[in-house]
Structure 1
Amino acid sequence: MAAVLLAVLLFGACAYRPVFAVYAYLLVLPFVAGIGRDTLVPGVRPNEALLVLLMAGACVGGYVRLLRGDAIPLRLKPIDAPLACFVLFSTVWPLALLMLRGSAPQRSDLAAVLPVLKLTALFLLVRLTVHTDQQRRRCIRLIVWPAGGLAAVAVLQTLGFGPVLTLLKALWQVDAGGASDRGSATLGSSIATGDYIIAGLALLLCCGTREMLGRRERIGLGLVLAAGVLASGQFSTWISAVVAAVLILRRFPQVRRRAARFLPLAGLAAVVGAPAFLGRMADFAQGYALPRSWLGRWDNLTSFYLPRLGDFHFVLGVSPNSVLPAPETWRNVIYLESGYLDFLWVGGIPLLAAFAWLSVTVLRETRRLGERPDALGACAATLEIAWWMVVVLSLIDIHLVVRGFGDLLFVLLAITSRRLADDRNTAEDPAVERSRTV
C-alpha cells in the first residue's frame, strides 16, 4: 500500500509539474540503477520502472496542457539528425537484418536494443521539460550531490565499512565478505561507478570555473568525488580522469593558475582512496604487463568474437545481442568488452558511421557552447569531457550505454541541445510562460 501511494504521488507530481520527473530521476539514479531485475519490481529494474512511471505522469501533464492550448515547442536542433540516425541503426536496423536473414528475434535480442530506446525516451523527457537556466542549475545539483553520495559509498566499500557492505549485499548483491579493491557501490559495477563519479567531478569543476556553486560545497564534494575516482578501482576510470584533466586544464586557464591550491585536497583524497588503487596495482607486482582483466578480455575477443566478425560479417552486423553463452562451467555468459567492436557486431559499418557522425556533431556543438558563463555552458563543457571519455574508452568497453553514466550522458545531451534560446522564448510566449515552473 505504501508503494502504491508513493507511485500515485509521484505520478501526480509529474503530471502537475513535468520537470519534476527529471528531478526525481536524477536524484535517485545512481542509487537504484544497480538494483537487479525482480529484486524490487517483477521483471524489470527499479530505475526502469521508475522512469516509466515518471514519464507517464509527465505525458499526462503535457497532454492536459496541450488540450488547454499551451504551446509545446518542438524545434529541430543540429544534434537531432545524427542522434536519430544512431538510434535507428542501433535498434531497427539489427532487428530488421535479423529477420531478413530468416531468423525471428528472440527475447534476448529485443532486450538488447531496449537500453538505447530507454536513453532516447529519457532524452526526450529532458528536452521537453527543462527550459530555463534555473531548472538547469537544479539539474546540476541533482547530478553532483548524488554523485558525491555514490563516491562516498564506493570509498566506504573499499575500506570494508560493515554497515555499507551489509546494505550492498541486501539490495545490490555485492559480496559482503570484506574490503574490496573495486568500488562497485550502488551501481553494482565499478566501471559504471567510476564513469559516473568522473562525470560528476567534471561538472563540479566546470561549475567552479563559473562560480556557480558555493566554495564550501565545491571543496566538500570535490574531496569526496576525487577519493571516489581512486576507490572505483578501475583502470578505465583512471584513464578517464586523465582525459578529463587534460581537457579541463586546456579549456580553463584559471584552473591551471590555481592548480597548486588543490594539491593538499588531492593528497587527502589520494590517502582515502589508496586501498583500492594499491589493490589494483598488485597485478603489476605479480609480473603482469597488463591488468589481468584486460588479458581476459583479449582472450574473449580473439576466441569468440573476432572469428564471427570475419568474412565481412562486420559490414552489416552479426546480431542485436552481443552476449554469448559461455562454453565453460565457471561462467554463464561472455561479454563483448570493446565498444567499437560492439558497434560492428550490432549494426556493422552503418552503426559505427552513425556513432562517428553523432560524435563529431556533439563535440562541435559542445565546444562552441562550452564557452558560455552560465549553467548551459557548464553542462556543455561537461558533456564534451564525457563524450571524449566515451570516444577513448570505447576501445575497451561500450561506455555509451553503461548503467547510470549512459543516462547521465543523455541528460546532458538533452540539456545542451536546447540552448539558451528557450529562455528568451519563455518570456515571449504566454503559453510557455505559464509552464516556466512546470
Structure 2
Amino acid sequence: MLGDKVRKSLRDLDRPLSALRPAADMVPPFHKLAIDVIWAGFRIDPDAVRPFLPDGLVLSPASIGVLGIYQAPTGYGIAPYMRGLVGVSVEGGRGSDIGEGMFVMGNIMDEPGAATMRKFYSGATVEGVARTWRDGELLHGVASVGGVDWLRATIRPGELRPALSGVDNFLGLTDAGLIKHADSTVADLADADIVTLEITDAAPDYMRALRPVEYVFALDAVRVNSIWSEPRVVGRTASGNAASVFLALIEDTGRAAAVVRQDGTLIEANASGRALLGPDGSRAGEPLLSGVPAEKHALCQALKMSCARKGPRVSEPIALTRPGGGHLLAYVMPLEHGEHGGDAALVLLADPRGPERRDAAQMLQLFGLTGAEARLAALVGVGHAPRGAAAELRISEHTARSTLKTVYDKLGINKQSELGHLVARLQYL
C-alpha cells in the first residue's frame, strides 16, 4: 500500500501527472494504479436521465447513479491521469449483446489521458483536473473544468478491507459507436458514509440530470490496481445473429464457448473457445473435436435435446477427445434467439485439468435473468437462505422471495436444490 509520503510526493509535483506518460501511441488493454478513490452510489430521477441515454440502453431496475473522483499516478497506457466521472446503471434490451453495466455520462480528465479516454472509451470527456485529499477522518474530492468545480464530494471512511477483487462492465459512446469494456480490479476498500455530494450548477445538463435523490453507498478505495480491457462495439440485436451475440456476451466472462448444430458441426466459437480448441482443433463447418463415435453420439444427443428444449437447462458434462490428446468437457445449453435457435445450441467448453470456481451470476443472465435476478439466484444457488441473500444484496426479504419466484419461472424449476445444481455447473465452466 502506498504510504502518506508517497502520496504527498505525487501530489506535490510541479507539473500535471499526465505529462509523465510516454508519447507512444498505446492501445488497450490499459493498466492503472489509483489512490484515495471516492466512489459513491445514489438513486436518481429516471425521468431526468432517460433523455440522455443512447438508443439501445435502458435504466436498470435499481436506477443507481455513481460519482467517482480519483488520481491514477502510475500505470500503462492511459495513466497517469486525474479523473472525475458520473454514470448510471443500465442494461440492453433482451436479446442484445449489451448486457448490464455502468454507462459513463461524463468524464473530467487532464490531457493526454482525456484524449485517450475519448478515443477508446467515452466521447463525453472534457479536459479538467481532479484531486482527492484526506483531512482527519474525512476524504474530500473535487473535479473542476476551467477552474470551476463541477463535482464535489466528502465521505467518512470506515474499516479497511484489503485485497478485494471484482470485475465491472462500463459502457460509453465513442466515434465507433456504443462500446463496452471490463474493468478488473484488486482494491483495498472501506465502506464509507456520504457527508456531502454535489453535481454543481456549472456542470452540463447531462451531468446535472444525475443529481442524487437518495444516497445508497460510498466507498473509499485507498489503492486500486485495475486493468481496462480492449473495448468492443455493442448494440447489435440478436435477431439476426445469435451466435455472435451470445459468444460476445460469454467472452466478457472469460469463458470458452461455441455454437454447434444438432449434427455436431461447429458454426462459430469465441476467442476463448478457439484458444481452448487449439491450432489443430475444429474450424467452422467441421465436426466439433471428437472422432470417437461414442463421444459424438453423446454430444449430438445433448444437442438435439437442447434444441428441442427438453432435459436440463445445462447438460451433464460430455468428454471430447482433442486431436493432439487430452480431453475437454462440453456442456450444452439452449440458444435462445436468432436464426440458429431451432437447429443449434450453445456449447460451453472447459478444461477438466483444473477448473476454477467462478461467479455464476453473469452466466445466469444468458437464461433471460436480469442482472439483479442473476445475482440473487447465484447467492441462493450456493446455499444462502433468501433472508441472508437479501441482506447481502441490501434488499428486503419480501423483494428477494418475490424475485426468486420470477427466477424459478424463467428457469423452469421449482425448488432451491434444482437452482443449486444449475449454479454448481456454471461455477466450474
Q: TM-score, normalised by structure 2?
A: 0.26
* Higher RCO, Cα 8 Å, sep 6+: 1
Q: Which has the larger radius of gyration?
A: 2
Greater helix proportion: 1
Greater strand proportion: 2
Q: TM-score, normalised by structure 1?
A: 0.25
